[in-house]
Amino acid sequence: MINLTLFVKAWNGGQLRQIDELLHSQFADLEVDVKVLGNPVNRWVQVSVEGEDEAIAVAYIRKEIGVCPVSFDAVETAMVLKGYVSKIEVEKQRLMVDVGVFEPKVTQVVVSLSNLQTQLVGGKNVALKQIVEAYAVTEGLPLSVKVISKDADILEAELSAEQVVKLQSWQQSLLDRLIVLRTSKELVSEVLERTRLDRDVIDVESLGLFEFALVCKLGTDAAGLIPRMGRYMRNAVFVVFDAKKARF
């Protein structure tokens, strides 16, 4: 039997059931038993995989969903990790990113303001608050980071090249995006159709299993979608990416 911590945070029992159903549907033709064990540490979802085809199932999970490193010793310099923004520390001028390291203790990654300035605003002296607001960076947002320093029990990182390209492409598109966190794609699609906002949204971009960016048509104000969608998605978190603000 192999235990894995998925690169997925679940916020309620319904989402744990969705993950269970997803895994069982993917492995229906394999000789393998996959069980969702829960999300006891910082909401990271843990599963067990057992059976004749467990190697195939594990390879699929690693490639298609991603897994957390779990152990501090498993993290190496230059490694690219996926994580979730856990805190925006304005006073300390840094982002804290949870990448799923909790053995021997919970250790999060530090992304400094200076690195964000270098990567996102051409090295200009722009405040952390302004950068995170411009790029819709909020607690719970999935981010990809590259470890640049590992010292004792401290991990320092910068945004990965892939993450920088994604944010810059958002900026260059001139299109607003509504970031929706802690919900399912099925519910997003259902609400867009119910409110007829599917006419104003040209794409639903997946950021994670329960996190999405709704790409608005040119001229559509993303903030205007929140009241209409929010009444049907009371547990979701909404953040606006305003393409005009992301220009420095």
Q: Which of 168, 199, 227 is the last residue of a domain?
A: 168
* pLDDT above 80 (res 156): yes
Q: Kindly indicate the confidence band of residue 244, based on its pLDDT and cuts at 50, 70 and 90.
A: confident
* 246 has a pLDDT exceeding 80: no
DSSP for 44-76, written as a single string = EEEEEEESTTHHHHHHHHHHHT-B--EEGGG--
Q: What is the mean pLDDT of residues 208-233?
A: 96
pTM: predicted TM-score of the whole model, two decimal places: 0.93
pLDDT at 89: 97
pLDDT on residue 21: 95
| Residue 90 pLDDT exceeds 90 | yes
Structure tokens at 49: 């995989």
Residue 60's domain comprises 2-67
Q: What is the pLDDT of residue 40?
A: 87
* Burial classification of residue 28, based on how many CB atoms lie within 10 Å of its CB (0-12 exposed, 13-18 middle, 19 or more buried): exposed
Nearest C-alpha neighbor of 49 from the set 39, 41, 40, 59 = 59
Q: Is residue 162 part of a domain?
A: yes
Q: Would the pLDDT of 206 be above 90?
A: yes
Flag whether 246 is in a domain. Answer: no
Domain at 196, CATH number = 3.30.70.100
Residue 56: is its pLDDT beyond 90?
yes
To the nearest whole percent, how much of the chain has pLDDT over 90? 95
Residues 61 and 76 in one domain: no
User: Is 224 part of any domain?
Assistant: yes
E-only strand ranges, 99-200: 101-103, 109-112, 142-151, 154-159, 177-181
Asked whether residue 163 is domain-assigned, the answer is yes
Going by pLDDT thresholds of 50, 70 and 90, the confidence category of residue 116 is very high
Q: State residue 113's pLDDT score.
A: 98
How many domains, the chain?
Answer: 3
Please identify, among 22, 42, 67, the residue that sits at the C-terminal boundary of a domain.
Answer: 67
Average pLDDT of the residues in 144-169: 95
Establish if 50 belongs to a structural domain.
Answer: yes
Judgement on whether residues 79 and 153 belong to the same structural domain of the protein: yes
The pLDDT of residue 152 is 82
Pair (82, 101) in one structural domain: yes
For the residues 99-123, what does the mean pLDDT come to? 96
Using alpha carbons, list the distances in angstroms from residue 118 to 121, 125, 131: 6, 9, 11
Q: Kindly state the percentage of the chain with pLDDT values over 70.
A: 100
Find out whether 202 and 217 touch, Cβ atoms under 8 Å: yes
Q: What mean pLDDT is reported for the chain?
A: 95
The type of residue at 223 is: A
Position 248 scores a pLDDT of 74
Model confidence at 49, pLDDT cuts 50, 70, 90, reads very high
Q: 180, 166, 176: which is closest to 211 by C-alpha?
A: 180
At 247 the pLDDT is 74
Q: Do both 143 and 89 map to the same domain? A: yes
pLDDT in the model for residue 243: 87
Whichever domain contains 109, its CATH number is 2.40.50.140
- Determine, yes or no, domain membership for 237: yes
Answer whether residue 79 shows pLDDT above 90.
yes
- What mean pLDDT do residues 91-117 have? 97
